[in-house]
Amino acid sequence: MTQYVAPRPGSSGARRLVGGPRPSDRIFRGLSYGSAALIMVILAGVAVFLIIKAAPAIAASWSTGDLASGTTAGYANFWAYSGPLIWGTLWMSFIGLLIGAPVAVGIALFISHYAPRSLAGILGYLVDLLAAVPSIIFGLWGIAVIRPYLLPFSHFLTEYLGWFPPFGGQVSTTGSTVLAGAVVLGVMVLPIITSITREIFLQTPRLHEEAALALGATKWETVRLAVFPYARSGMVSAILLGLGRALGETMAIALIISPSIVFSVALLTENQNSQTIAANIAVNFPESNDLPRAGLIGTGLMLFVISFAVNFAARWIVGRTGGSAKERRSRKIAPPSDAASILTLDVAASPLEALEPRGSSAHPEGQEPSIPELRD
Protein backbone atom coordinates (compact mmCIF):
# COMPACT_ATOMS: atom_id res chain seq x y z
CA MET A 1 0.00 0.00 0.00
CA THR A 2 1.40 3.32 -0.96
CA GLN A 3 0.64 6.22 1.25
CA TYR A 4 -0.95 9.27 -0.31
CA VAL A 5 1.11 12.39 0.28
CA ALA A 6 -0.69 15.65 -0.30
CA PRO A 7 1.38 18.01 -2.45
CA ARG A 8 2.63 21.03 -0.60
CA PRO A 9 1.22 24.35 -1.85
CA GLY A 10 3.53 25.73 -4.50
CA SER A 11 4.92 22.36 -5.48
CA SER A 12 5.14 21.37 -9.13
CA GLY A 13 1.92 19.30 -9.01
CA ALA A 14 -0.19 22.21 -7.90
CA ARG A 15 1.37 24.60 -10.40
CA ARG A 16 0.46 22.28 -13.25
CA LEU A 17 -3.17 22.32 -12.29
CA VAL A 18 -3.51 26.04 -12.64
CA GLY A 19 -0.80 26.67 -15.25
CA GLY A 20 -1.22 26.93 -19.02
CA PRO A 21 -0.66 24.16 -21.55
CA ARG A 22 2.67 22.37 -21.45
CA PRO A 23 5.29 22.96 -24.15
CA SER A 24 4.71 19.50 -25.65
CA ASP A 25 1.05 20.38 -25.98
CA ARG A 26 1.78 23.66 -27.66
CA ILE A 27 4.34 22.17 -30.05
CA PHE A 28 2.07 19.35 -31.10
CA ARG A 29 -0.83 21.71 -31.58
CA GLY A 30 1.38 23.94 -33.72
CA LEU A 31 2.59 21.01 -35.83
CA SER A 32 -0.95 19.86 -36.36
CA TYR A 33 -2.18 23.31 -37.42
CA GLY A 34 0.96 23.73 -39.53
CA SER A 35 0.31 20.50 -41.46
CA ALA A 36 -3.24 21.58 -42.18
CA ALA A 37 -1.98 24.95 -43.39
CA LEU A 38 0.69 23.22 -45.49
CA ILE A 39 -2.04 21.48 -47.46
CA MET A 40 -3.46 24.84 -48.46
CA VAL A 41 0.05 25.98 -49.42
CA ILE A 42 0.69 22.87 -51.55
CA LEU A 43 -2.53 23.22 -53.49
CA ALA A 44 -1.94 26.91 -54.05
CA GLY A 45 1.63 26.01 -55.06
CA VAL A 46 0.40 23.58 -57.70
CA ALA A 47 -1.70 26.28 -59.31
CA VAL A 48 0.91 29.05 -58.98
CA PHE A 49 3.90 27.09 -60.31
CA LEU A 50 1.92 25.74 -63.26
CA ILE A 51 0.79 29.26 -64.14
CA ILE A 52 4.33 30.66 -63.84
CA LYS A 53 5.78 27.95 -66.08
CA ALA A 54 2.93 28.01 -68.58
CA ALA A 55 2.67 31.77 -68.98
CA PRO A 56 5.55 32.14 -71.51
CA ALA A 57 3.94 29.67 -73.90
CA ILE A 58 0.48 31.18 -73.58
CA ALA A 59 1.85 34.66 -74.27
CA ALA A 60 4.42 33.70 -76.93
CA SER A 61 3.97 33.87 -80.69
CA TRP A 62 3.45 30.37 -82.04
CA SER A 63 4.42 31.24 -85.62
CA THR A 64 8.13 31.83 -84.93
CA GLY A 65 10.91 30.30 -82.87
CA ASP A 66 10.84 27.00 -81.02
CA LEU A 67 7.07 26.74 -81.12
CA ALA A 68 6.93 26.88 -84.94
CA SER A 69 8.77 23.57 -85.32
CA GLY A 70 8.46 20.05 -84.02
CA THR A 71 5.29 18.79 -82.41
CA THR A 72 3.87 22.28 -81.86
CA ALA A 73 4.24 23.42 -85.49
CA GLY A 74 1.24 24.77 -87.33
CA TYR A 75 -0.83 26.16 -84.50
CA ALA A 76 -1.84 29.85 -84.48
CA ASN A 77 -1.61 30.15 -80.71
CA PHE A 78 -1.85 28.23 -77.45
CA TRP A 79 -5.63 27.94 -77.64
CA ALA A 80 -5.56 26.44 -81.13
CA TYR A 81 -3.16 23.82 -79.74
CA SER A 82 -5.01 23.03 -76.53
CA GLY A 83 -8.54 23.13 -78.02
CA PRO A 84 -8.41 19.74 -79.81
CA LEU A 85 -6.58 18.23 -76.83
CA ILE A 86 -9.33 19.35 -74.45
CA TRP A 87 -11.90 17.90 -76.85
CA GLY A 88 -9.97 14.63 -77.06
CA THR A 89 -9.74 14.38 -73.27
CA LEU A 90 -13.46 14.96 -72.80
CA TRP A 91 -14.46 12.66 -75.67
CA MET A 92 -12.28 9.76 -74.57
CA SER A 93 -13.43 10.06 -70.95
CA PHE A 94 -17.06 10.26 -72.07
CA ILE A 95 -16.78 7.03 -74.07
CA GLY A 96 -14.95 5.38 -71.18
CA LEU A 97 -17.75 6.37 -68.79
CA LEU A 98 -20.39 5.22 -71.29
CA ILE A 99 -18.79 1.77 -71.11
CA GLY A 100 -17.84 1.73 -67.43
CA ALA A 101 -20.59 3.57 -65.54
CA PRO A 102 -23.61 1.30 -66.24
CA VAL A 103 -21.57 -1.79 -65.38
CA ALA A 104 -20.25 -0.09 -62.24
CA VAL A 105 -23.75 0.81 -61.01
CA GLY A 106 -24.89 -2.73 -61.80
CA ILE A 107 -22.06 -4.17 -59.72
CA ALA A 108 -22.84 -1.83 -56.84
CA LEU A 109 -26.47 -2.92 -56.95
CA PHE A 110 -25.43 -6.57 -57.07
CA ILE A 111 -23.17 -6.22 -54.05
CA SER A 112 -25.55 -4.10 -51.99
CA HIS A 113 -28.90 -5.72 -52.78
CA TYR A 114 -28.61 -9.00 -54.69
CA ALA A 115 -25.55 -10.89 -53.49
CA PRO A 116 -25.89 -13.08 -50.37
CA ARG A 117 -25.14 -11.01 -47.27
CA SER A 118 -22.29 -13.25 -46.18
CA LEU A 119 -20.50 -12.82 -49.52
CA ALA A 120 -21.09 -9.09 -50.00
CA GLY A 121 -17.93 -8.01 -48.15
CA ILE A 122 -15.65 -10.31 -50.12
CA LEU A 123 -17.23 -9.46 -53.46
CA GLY A 124 -16.84 -5.75 -52.70
CA TYR A 125 -13.20 -6.35 -51.86
CA LEU A 126 -12.65 -8.10 -55.19
CA VAL A 127 -13.90 -5.07 -57.07
CA ASP A 128 -11.81 -2.79 -54.85
CA LEU A 129 -8.76 -4.82 -55.88
CA LEU A 130 -9.19 -3.38 -59.37
CA ALA A 131 -8.37 0.00 -57.82
CA ALA A 132 -5.10 -1.38 -56.50
CA VAL A 133 -3.80 -2.41 -59.93
CA PRO A 134 -1.38 0.30 -61.14
CA SER A 135 -2.49 2.10 -64.29
CA ILE A 136 0.64 1.13 -66.22
CA ILE A 137 -0.38 -2.52 -65.82
CA PHE A 138 -3.74 -1.73 -67.37
CA GLY A 139 -1.86 0.03 -70.17
CA LEU A 140 0.22 -3.05 -70.94
CA TRP A 141 -2.89 -5.19 -70.68
CA GLY A 142 -4.66 -2.87 -73.13
CA ILE A 143 -1.82 -3.22 -75.61
CA ALA A 144 -1.43 -6.96 -75.31
CA VAL A 145 -5.03 -8.06 -74.87
CA ILE A 146 -7.64 -5.42 -75.61
CA ARG A 147 -6.19 -4.09 -78.89
CA PRO A 148 -6.19 -7.39 -80.81
CA TYR A 149 -9.35 -8.41 -79.01
CA LEU A 150 -11.40 -5.48 -80.33
CA LEU A 151 -10.24 -5.77 -83.96
CA PRO A 152 -12.96 -8.13 -85.24
CA PHE A 153 -15.55 -6.12 -83.34
CA SER A 154 -14.25 -2.90 -84.92
CA HIS A 155 -14.51 -4.38 -88.41
CA PHE A 156 -18.06 -5.47 -87.70
CA LEU A 157 -19.04 -1.99 -86.45
CA THR A 158 -17.50 -0.16 -89.43
CA GLU A 159 -19.04 -2.54 -91.92
CA TYR A 160 -22.61 -2.47 -90.64
CA LEU A 161 -22.84 0.78 -88.68
CA GLY A 162 -20.34 2.88 -90.64
CA TRP A 163 -23.00 5.51 -91.39
CA PHE A 164 -22.82 6.55 -87.72
CA PRO A 165 -19.91 9.05 -87.56
CA PRO A 166 -18.04 7.57 -84.55
CA PHE A 167 -17.87 4.19 -86.32
CA GLY A 168 -16.99 5.62 -89.75
CA GLY A 169 -13.67 6.12 -91.47
CA GLN A 170 -10.82 3.80 -92.38
CA VAL A 171 -10.80 1.08 -89.76
CA SER A 172 -7.54 0.55 -87.85
CA THR A 173 -5.40 -2.49 -88.55
CA THR A 174 -3.40 -2.33 -85.31
CA GLY A 175 -6.26 -1.67 -82.93
CA SER A 176 -4.63 1.43 -81.38
CA THR A 177 -7.97 3.20 -81.36
CA VAL A 178 -10.00 5.50 -79.12
CA LEU A 179 -12.30 2.56 -78.46
CA ALA A 180 -9.46 0.42 -77.07
CA GLY A 181 -8.36 3.32 -74.84
CA ALA A 182 -11.94 3.90 -73.71
CA VAL A 183 -12.46 0.24 -72.79
CA VAL A 184 -9.38 0.38 -70.57
CA LEU A 185 -10.62 3.67 -69.07
CA GLY A 186 -13.98 2.01 -68.44
CA VAL A 187 -12.26 -0.73 -66.45
CA MET A 188 -10.26 1.84 -64.50
CA VAL A 189 -13.30 3.90 -63.44
CA LEU A 190 -15.23 0.78 -62.34
CA PRO A 191 -13.88 0.48 -58.78
CA ILE A 192 -14.30 4.16 -57.89
CA ILE A 193 -17.88 4.40 -59.16
CA THR A 194 -18.80 1.03 -57.68
CA SER A 195 -17.41 1.75 -54.23
CA ILE A 196 -19.19 5.09 -53.89
CA THR A 197 -22.56 3.99 -55.29
CA ARG A 198 -22.38 0.86 -53.12
CA GLU A 199 -21.95 3.00 -50.01
CA ILE A 200 -24.89 5.19 -50.99
CA PHE A 201 -27.16 2.26 -51.90
CA LEU A 202 -26.46 0.82 -48.46
CA GLN A 203 -27.46 4.11 -46.84
CA THR A 204 -30.98 3.97 -48.26
CA PRO A 205 -33.35 4.17 -45.29
CA ARG A 206 -34.37 0.59 -44.56
CA LEU A 207 -37.95 1.70 -43.84
CA HIS A 208 -38.40 3.00 -47.40
CA GLU A 209 -37.39 -0.38 -48.78
CA GLU A 210 -39.52 -2.28 -46.29
CA ALA A 211 -42.51 -0.10 -47.16
CA ALA A 212 -42.11 -0.87 -50.86
CA LEU A 213 -41.75 -4.60 -50.17
CA ALA A 214 -44.80 -4.52 -47.91
CA LEU A 215 -46.84 -3.07 -50.77
CA GLY A 216 -45.99 -6.14 -52.82
CA ALA A 217 -43.22 -4.66 -54.94
CA THR A 218 -40.70 -7.03 -56.45
CA LYS A 219 -37.01 -6.54 -55.66
CA TRP A 220 -36.43 -4.52 -58.81
CA GLU A 221 -39.47 -2.33 -58.10
CA THR A 222 -38.15 -1.76 -54.59
CA VAL A 223 -34.84 -0.68 -56.01
CA ARG A 224 -36.52 1.58 -58.55
CA LEU A 225 -38.98 3.12 -56.09
CA ALA A 226 -36.91 3.36 -52.90
CA VAL A 227 -33.20 3.01 -53.64
CA PHE A 228 -32.71 4.95 -56.89
CA PRO A 229 -34.62 8.10 -55.84
CA TYR A 230 -32.62 8.22 -52.62
CA ALA A 231 -29.29 7.58 -54.31
CA ARG A 232 -29.79 9.54 -57.53
CA SER A 233 -27.56 12.51 -56.77
CA GLY A 234 -25.00 10.23 -55.15
CA MET A 235 -24.84 8.20 -58.34
CA VAL A 236 -24.37 11.31 -60.43
CA SER A 237 -21.58 12.46 -58.17
CA ALA A 238 -19.92 9.03 -58.23
CA ILE A 239 -19.96 9.10 -62.01
CA LEU A 240 -18.47 12.61 -61.97
CA LEU A 241 -15.68 11.38 -59.68
CA GLY A 242 -15.13 8.54 -62.13
CA LEU A 243 -14.93 11.16 -64.86
CA GLY A 244 -12.28 12.98 -62.83
CA ARG A 245 -10.27 9.76 -62.71
CA ALA A 246 -10.70 9.17 -66.43
CA LEU A 247 -9.68 12.73 -67.37
CA GLY A 248 -6.30 12.43 -65.70
CA GLU A 249 -5.43 8.95 -66.90
CA THR A 250 -2.12 9.16 -68.72
CA MET A 251 0.03 6.14 -69.31
CA ALA A 252 -2.61 3.65 -70.42
CA ILE A 253 -3.82 6.06 -73.10
CA ALA A 254 -0.29 7.07 -74.10
CA LEU A 255 0.58 3.41 -74.63
CA ILE A 256 -2.57 2.31 -76.39
CA ILE A 257 -3.76 4.86 -78.94
CA SER A 258 -1.94 6.19 -81.97
CA PRO A 259 -3.05 9.79 -81.71
CA SER A 260 -3.35 12.97 -83.70
CA ILE A 261 -4.30 16.38 -82.38
CA VAL A 262 -7.66 16.82 -84.14
CA PHE A 263 -11.31 17.42 -83.41
CA SER A 264 -12.66 14.00 -84.29
CA VAL A 265 -15.39 11.71 -83.03
CA ALA A 266 -13.98 8.65 -84.81
CA LEU A 267 -13.51 5.67 -82.50
CA LEU A 268 -12.07 3.04 -84.76
CA THR A 269 -9.62 4.70 -87.15
CA GLU A 270 -5.87 4.62 -87.55
CA ASN A 271 -5.02 8.34 -87.64
CA GLN A 272 -8.15 10.23 -86.59
CA ASN A 273 -7.89 9.40 -82.88
CA SER A 274 -8.32 12.51 -80.75
CA GLN A 275 -5.36 12.78 -78.38
CA THR A 276 -5.87 13.51 -74.67
CA ILE A 277 -4.02 16.21 -72.75
CA ALA A 278 -2.33 13.84 -70.32
CA ALA A 279 -1.15 11.35 -72.93
CA ASN A 280 0.08 14.19 -75.16
CA ILE A 281 2.23 15.50 -72.31
CA ALA A 282 3.64 12.05 -71.58
CA VAL A 283 4.48 11.40 -75.21
CA ASN A 284 6.06 14.77 -76.05
CA PHE A 285 7.54 15.94 -72.74
CA PRO A 286 10.91 14.11 -72.89
CA GLU A 287 11.78 15.40 -76.35
CA SER A 288 10.68 19.02 -76.04
CA ASN A 289 12.64 22.24 -75.60
CA ASP A 290 11.85 24.88 -73.03
CA LEU A 291 9.05 26.70 -74.84
CA PRO A 292 7.15 23.68 -76.17
CA ARG A 293 7.51 22.23 -72.68
CA ALA A 294 5.88 25.40 -71.34
CA GLY A 295 3.11 24.79 -73.86
CA LEU A 296 2.67 21.27 -72.52
CA ILE A 297 2.58 22.59 -68.95
CA GLY A 298 -0.08 25.04 -70.16
CA THR A 299 -2.24 22.15 -71.37
CA GLY A 300 -1.58 20.49 -68.01
CA LEU A 301 -2.94 23.63 -66.36
CA MET A 302 -6.09 23.29 -68.50
CA LEU A 303 -6.41 19.67 -67.33
CA PHE A 304 -6.00 20.81 -63.71
CA VAL A 305 -8.78 23.38 -64.16
CA ILE A 306 -11.13 20.89 -65.84
CA SER A 307 -10.64 18.15 -63.27
CA PHE A 308 -10.91 20.72 -60.46
CA ALA A 309 -14.29 21.78 -61.88
CA VAL A 310 -15.49 18.19 -62.26
CA ASN A 311 -14.42 17.26 -58.73
CA PHE A 312 -15.97 20.42 -57.34
CA ALA A 313 -19.28 19.61 -59.04
CA ALA A 314 -19.13 16.04 -57.72
CA ARG A 315 -18.54 17.19 -54.11
CA TRP A 316 -21.29 19.75 -54.38
CA ILE A 317 -23.78 17.14 -55.57
CA VAL A 318 -22.74 14.48 -53.04
CA GLY A 319 -23.43 17.05 -50.32
CA ARG A 320 -27.04 17.00 -51.49
CA THR A 321 -27.40 13.21 -51.40
CA GLY A 322 -30.37 11.59 -49.78
CA GLY A 323 -33.33 12.74 -47.72
CA SER A 324 -34.35 16.16 -46.49
CA ALA A 325 -32.01 19.06 -45.82
CA LYS A 326 -32.32 18.37 -42.09
CA GLU A 327 -31.37 14.73 -42.53
CA ARG A 328 -28.33 15.76 -44.57
CA ARG A 329 -27.18 18.16 -41.91
CA SER A 330 -27.57 15.56 -39.20
CA ARG A 331 -25.48 13.07 -41.17
CA LYS A 332 -22.60 15.53 -41.54
CA ILE A 333 -20.31 12.96 -43.14
CA ALA A 334 -20.46 12.25 -46.83
CA PRO A 335 -19.46 8.71 -47.71
CA PRO A 336 -15.74 8.26 -48.36
CA SER A 337 -15.28 9.29 -51.94
CA ASP A 338 -11.95 7.82 -52.90
CA ALA A 339 -11.24 4.19 -53.46
CA ALA A 340 -8.18 4.22 -51.21
CA SER A 341 -10.01 5.17 -48.05
CA ILE A 342 -12.79 2.69 -48.77
CA LEU A 343 -10.15 0.01 -49.19
CA THR A 344 -8.67 1.08 -45.88
CA LEU A 345 -12.05 0.88 -44.20
CA ASP A 346 -12.59 -2.56 -45.69
CA VAL A 347 -9.27 -3.85 -44.44
CA ALA A 348 -8.97 -2.08 -41.14
CA ALA A 349 -12.49 -1.66 -39.88
CA SER A 350 -12.86 -5.20 -38.66
CA PRO A 351 -10.51 -4.91 -35.66
CA LEU A 352 -11.93 -1.51 -34.80
CA GLU A 353 -15.48 -2.73 -34.90
CA ALA A 354 -15.06 -3.50 -31.21
CA LEU A 355 -14.95 0.25 -30.64
CA GLU A 356 -17.86 1.01 -32.96
CA PRO A 357 -20.33 -1.80 -32.53
CA ARG A 358 -22.58 -0.71 -35.36
CA GLY A 359 -19.76 -1.48 -37.73
CA SER A 360 -18.25 0.29 -40.64
CA SER A 361 -20.35 1.13 -43.62
CA ALA A 362 -17.90 -0.85 -45.68
CA HIS A 363 -19.27 -3.98 -44.06
CA PRO A 364 -22.89 -4.29 -45.04
CA GLU A 365 -23.31 -7.44 -43.02
CA GLY A 366 -22.48 -5.61 -39.82
CA GLN A 367 -25.21 -3.03 -40.23
CA GLU A 368 -28.28 -2.66 -38.14
CA PRO A 369 -31.42 -2.15 -40.16
CA SER A 370 -33.19 1.20 -40.32
CA ILE A 371 -30.20 3.30 -39.22
CA PRO A 372 -29.09 5.10 -42.33
CA GLU A 373 -26.82 7.57 -40.53
CA LEU A 374 -23.77 5.57 -39.69
CA ARG A 375 -20.89 7.35 -38.03
CA ASP A 376 -22.44 10.48 -36.60
164-203 positions binding other proteins, by CB under 8 A: 187, 190, 194
Query: Which residue among 14, 59, 161, 352 contacts other proteins (CB under 8 A)?
Result: 352
Radius of gyration of the chain (CA): 27
Of 240 and 266, nearer to other proteins (C-beta) is 240
DSSP secondary-structure letter at 338? Answer: S
Among 179, 185, 202, 241, binds other proteins (CB under 8 A): 241
**Closest Cα to residue 266, out of 80, 87, 79?**
87
Is residue 210 within 8 Å of residue 96, measured between CB atoms? Answer: no
282 binds other proteins (CB under 8 A): yes
Q: Report, in Å, the least distance between residue 146 CB and other proteins.
A: 9
Q: How far apart are CA 146 and CA 140, in angstroms?
A: 9
Q: Output 44 or 76, the one with its CB closest to other proteins.
A: 44
Count CA atoms closer than 13 A to 266's CA, side-chain side. Answer: 25
Nearer to other proteins, 58 or 265 (CB): 58
31 binding other proteins? (CB under 8 A): yes
d(CA 233, CA 23) in angstroms, rounded, equals: 47
Closest distance to other proteins from the beta carbon of 323 (Å): 20
Residue nearer to other proteins on the CB measure, 10 or 286: 286
Instruction: Output 368-372 pairs: Cβ under 8 A, ≥24 positions apart.
Output: 369/206, 370/205, 370/206, 370/207, 370/210, 371/206, 372/203, 372/204, 372/205, 372/206, 372/322, 372/323, 372/331
Report CA-CA distances (Å) from 353 to 334, 337, 348, 357, 359. Answer: 20, 21, 9, 5, 5
Q: In the set 180, 200, 281, 317, which binds other proteins (CB under 8 A)?
A: 281
User: What residues numbered 2-21 form the site for other proteins, per CB under 8 A?
Assistant: 21
Residue from the set 11, 14, 34, 229 that interacts with other proteins by CB under 8 A: 34
State the minimum distance, in angstroms, from the CB of residue 360 to other proteins: 8
Distances (CA, A) of 56 to 69, 286, 303: 17, 19, 18
Tell me phi and psi for residue 360, to 5 degrees: -80, 150
Which residue, 205 or 244, has its beta carbon nearer to other proteins? 244
CB nearer other proteins, residue 96 or residue 168: 96
The answer to whether residue 275 forms part of the interface with other proteins (CB under 8 A) is no
Choices 62-70, 200-208, 293-301, 364-372 (CB under 8 A): range interacting with other proteins = 293-301
Least gap, CB of 163 to other proteins (angstroms): 25
Which one, 16 or 365, has the nearer CB to other proteins? 16
Nearest approach, Cβ of residue 214 and other proteins (Å): 14
Residues 80-99 that bind other proteins (CB under 8 A): none
Other beta carbons less than 10 A from residue 332's beta carbon:
9
Site residue total, other proteins (CB under 8 A): 109
**Residue of 197, 318, 189 lying closest to 242 (CA atoms):** 189
Alpha-carbon distance values, 254 to 6, 298, 306 (Å):
74, 18, 19
Q: How far apart are CA 351 and CA 136, in angstroms?
A: 33
Answer yes or no whether residue 207 interacts with other proteins by CB under 8 A. no
Shorter beta-carbon distance to other proteins: residue 160 or 316: 316
Q: Partners of 269 in the beta sheet?
A: 171
By CB under 8 A, which span of 69-77, 167-175, 203-211, 307-315 interacts with other proteins? 307-315
Q: What is the rounded distance in angstroms from the CA atom of residue 52 to the CA atom of residue 298?
A: 10
Nearer to other proteins, 84 or 242 (CB): 242
The amino acid occupying position 162 is: G
Scanning 64-72, 140-148, 195-203, 266-274 for contacts with other proteins by CB under 8 A, the matching segment is 140-148
- Per CB under 8 A, 345 contacts other proteins: yes
Q: Which residues pair with 274 in a beta bridge?
A: 260
Piece of the chain touching other proteins by CB under 8 A; list 77-85, 225-233, 260-268, 294-302:
294-302
CA angle 35, 40, 43 (to 5 degrees): 120
Non-local CB neighbours of 126 within 8 Å, separated by 6+ positions: none
Asked whether position 365 contacts other proteins by CB under 8 A, the answer is: no
